[in-house]
């Protein structure tokens, strides 16, 4: 049933679907997220009208649009292989570039832009996802300090501060005034005492909340999930190692993009996914689970580490106290990590991604 016309229609539909989804990613990364980020930055610095904030945000966003346009132009008009013709003029070379751009329907331009973002997503995955793959299960197993224990420690701190205050104030019982150093110390201790008492009221409300009681009830389940996530992380590590070792030993080389002609060293995921494909939709469920696992581990890594630019911490991710700019950075980082995940799945299960459970029929 899949004659030439039907196959071409299916390929065009899939191609246009990729065009649409990748264009949405470029729109979010280079236009929407930068515009909203600079809008909130301008809103915090200046309490002027909305029009001036929008103008300033658009002015900064133009820089990102310029970068996006540069990537598209580089991908469109810088071919990897230029035919060498001695008698060809410069105009013929330019004409050849436009002909290649038209024949590929802009695929090279979009491919280069998405590949550039994928490299950034790889760096984000190395930084945040790798850390989250170990931090998430260990935090589940280790758990958090109970509110009752924190409240007990807080009460001991209150008693210690009150004792220090009473010792300092006892110096002026005979009518002598306190020294300037002691007065500063009294002010600091009183401020700390107010902070500790606010924390005590907060811990008391947490201790009586239903969520804390529910968390204590499912504590064994958290330990089970933590052990399970450690096993999954080890499975991904083994699968990536075997897949890349197979590419290093048996691929066609760098010029072909390390394409593997047949599977020599298989890995657990590469064996499991083609088997699950025979029973719809088990393979889709597993792929979705893998992607969601990378998203959750990435979020755990970003939450624990915060958002950094090299050695400078830009934002912290805290419940109920996260700034809008930090949330926008979080969305952008997750977007780039998911973009890199689509490439990493090829390394996890190359046979499934390329051919599924199908095999070539040798005539």
Res 359: pLDDT: 66
For 67, the 3-state DSSP assignment is helix
Say if pTM beats, i.e. exceeds, 0.85. no
Q: What number of H helices and E strands is found in the chain?
A: 14, 2
**What is the three-class DSSP state of 141?**
helix
CA-based nearest residue to 114, from 202, 40, 32, 26: 26
Angstrom distance (rounded) from CA 177 to CA 180: 9
DSSP-assigned letter for residue 144: -
Q: Which residue from 50, 219, 198, 81 is spatially nearest to 141, judged by alpha carbons? A: 219
Q: Can you say how many angstroms the Cα of residue 277 is from the centroid of all Cα atoms in its chain?
A: 28
Position 75 scores a pLDDT of 78
Q: What is the pLDDT of residue 261?
A: 66
Q: Are 42 and 54 in contact (CB under 8 A)?
A: no
How high is the pLDDT of residue 119?
A: 92
List the pLDDT tens digit at each of the 363 positions of the chain. Answer: 566 777 788 888 888 898 888 889 889 989 999 898 888 887 766 666 778 788 888 888 898 889 888 888 887 766 555 555 555 565 565 666 666 655 565 677 788 888 889 999 999 999 999 999 988 888 888 876 666 667 777 788 888 888 888 887 777 766 667 777 777 887 888 888 888 888 887 777 776 777 677 777 777 888 888 898 899 889 888 888 888 888 788 777 777 777 766 667 778 888 888 888 888 888 889 888 888 999 999 998 988 888 888 788 888 887 777 888 888 888 899 999 988 988 888 888 877 887 777 766 665
Predicted local distance difference test score (pLDDT) of residue 16? 87
């Amino acid at each position: 049933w899949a004659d030439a016309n039907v196959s071409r229609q299916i390929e065009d539909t899939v191609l246009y679907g990729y065009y649409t989804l990748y264009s949405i990613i470029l729109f979010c990364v280079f236009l929407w997220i930068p515009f909203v980020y600079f809008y909130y930055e301008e809103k915090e610095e200046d309490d002027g009208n909305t029009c001036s904030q929008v103008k300033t945000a658009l002015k900064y966003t133009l820089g990102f649009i310029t970068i996006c346009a540069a990537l598209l132009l580089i991908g469109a008009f810088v071919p990897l292989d230029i035919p060498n013709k001695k008698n060809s003029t410069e105009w013929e070379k330019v004409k050849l570039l436009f002909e290649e751009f038209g024949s590929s329907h802009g695929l090279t331009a979009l491919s280069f832009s998405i590949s550039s973002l994928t490299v950034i997503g790889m760096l984000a995955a190395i930084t945040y996802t790798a850390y989250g793959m170990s931090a998430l299960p260990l935090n589940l197993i280790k758990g958090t300090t109970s509110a009752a224990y924190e409240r007990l420690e807080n009460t001991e701190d209150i008693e210690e501060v009150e004792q220090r205050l009473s010792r300092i104030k006892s110096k002026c019982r005979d009518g002598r005034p306190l020294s300037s150093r002691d007065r500063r110390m009294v002010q600091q201790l009183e401020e700390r005492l107010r902070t500790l008492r606010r924390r005590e009221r907060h811990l008391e409300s947490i201790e009586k909340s239903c969520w804390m009681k529910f968390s204590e009830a499912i504590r064994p389940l958290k330990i089970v999930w933590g052990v399970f996530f450690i096993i999954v992380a080890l499975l991904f590590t083994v699968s990536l190692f075997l897949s890349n070792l197979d590419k290093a030993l048996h691929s066609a080389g760098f010029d072909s993009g390390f394409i593997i002609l047949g599977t020599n060293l298989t890995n657990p995921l590469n064996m499991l996914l083609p088997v699950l494909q025979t029973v719809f939709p088990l393979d889709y469920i597993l792929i979705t689970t893998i992607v969601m696992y990378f998203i959750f581990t990435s979020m755990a890594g970003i939450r624990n580490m915060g958002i950094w630019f090299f050695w400078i911490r830009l934002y912290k991710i805290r419940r109920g106290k996260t700034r809008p700019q930090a949330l926008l950075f979080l969305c952008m980082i997750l977007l780039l990590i998911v973009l890199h995940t689509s490439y990493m799945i090829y390394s996890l299960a190359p046979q499934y991604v390329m051919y599924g459970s199908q095999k070539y029929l040798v005539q």
